[in-house]
């Protein structure tokens, strides 16, 4: 009987893994697949577990929202504001609370120019496996600063790096705050050294009515993205598009 039991145990082990049974290997495989699925979900711009997530709207109107993440920054905020003023475009800026505290005048200038302002967290931390208290602090401190700089519109939230899982979506859902992501992200799909022309060409090739375009223009490393803005606006207008804020886009279609 002892020899039989020993043989059964040996038969239940896999070659190369003498101390791991078939059941244990199966458990590890399932765990790995589940972890990978959660990781993909955490960074997906189209899905989250709770609340309302908007990556684009369904509309027949040729409308596109141009959005900028990060900042405000001392040098590039005046540059992008001057550029948008010359182009007669209103955009949506997702600002970082800590950066607002460092550069309040630049943040006020964004509001004074009539642009929409969204919440991009206080410290730009990845919002994965965070405590409820941490999430609440990141969102609420930033929203308070956005009100202090004079913004009175609805404050939507964009997760840093697009990361969100469990705690953040649940908190936003309970607070009735929309999560806004994107549907066109040239910087994520092109080489880091891509030219302004290449960035603009990517946007124009992929643009559809109701899209939300994501760009980073606040820092020196994104000079090509900043230079691409006039090319994007001109190309979209030539294709019959009108540039609007995210809130304006939400009012024109179904999420």
Cis amide bond preceding 69, omega within 30: no
First CA to last CA distance, the chain: 65
Task: Indicate if the pLDDT at residue 39 is higher than 50.
Answer: no
Minimum mean pLDDT among 14-23, 145-154, 207-216, 230-239: which range? 14-23
* 54-68 pLDDT per residue, tens: 999 999 999 999 999
Higher-confidence position of 50 and 218: 218
Output the average pLDDT for the chain. 88
Spell out the residues 6+ positions from residue 45 whose beta carbon is closer than 8 angstroms to its own.
Answer: 55, 162, 181, 182, 183, 185
- Whether 70 is catalytic: no
Distance CA(102)–CA(168), nearest Å, equals: 25
Q: What is the pLDDT of residues 191-234, one digit of tens each?
A: 999 999 999 999 999 999 999 999 999 999 999 999 999 999 99
37 has a pLDDT exceeding 50: no
pLDDT at 106 over 70: yes
Find the mean pLDDT for residues 137-144: 98
Catalytic residue among 55, 69, 70, 211: 69
Phi and psi at residue 118, in whole multiples of 5°?
-120, 170
Is residue 60 among the annotated active site residues?
no
Residues 61, 124, 206, 216: which is the catalytic one? 216
Q: Work out the average pLDDT over 76-105.
A: 98
């Amino acid at each position: 009987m002892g020899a039989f039991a020993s043989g059964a145990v040996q038969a239940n082990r896999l070659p190369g893994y003498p101390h791991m049974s078939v059941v244990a290997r199966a458990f590890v495989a399932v765990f790995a697949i589940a972890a990978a699925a959660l990781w993909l979900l955490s960074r997906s711009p189209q899905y989250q577990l709770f609340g309302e997530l908007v990556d684009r709207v369904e509309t027949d109107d040729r409308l596109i929202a141009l959005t900028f993440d990060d900042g405000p920054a001392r040098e590039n905020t005046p540059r992008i504001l001057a550029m948008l003023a010359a182009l007669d475009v209103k955009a949506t800026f997702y600002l970082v609370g800590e950066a607002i505290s460092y550069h309040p005048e630049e943040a006020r200038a964004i509001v004074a120019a009539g642009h929409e302002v969204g919440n991009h967290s206080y410290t730009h931390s990845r919002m994965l496996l965070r405590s409820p208290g941490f999430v609440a602090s990141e969102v609420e401190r930033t929203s308070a600063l956005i009100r202090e700089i004079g913004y009175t519109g609805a404050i939507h939230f964009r997760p840093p790096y697009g990361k969100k899982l469990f705690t953040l979506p649940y908190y936003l859902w309970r607070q009735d705050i929309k999560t806004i992501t994107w549907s066109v992200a040239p910087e994520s799909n092109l080489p880091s050294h891509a030219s302004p022309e290449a960035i603009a060409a990517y946007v124009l090739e992929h643009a559809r009515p109701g899209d939300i375009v994501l760009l980073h223009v606040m820092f020196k490393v994104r000079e090509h993205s900043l230079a691409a803005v006039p090319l994007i606006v001109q190309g979209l207008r030539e294709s019959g598009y009108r540039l609007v804020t995210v809130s304006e886009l939400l009012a024109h279609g179904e999420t």
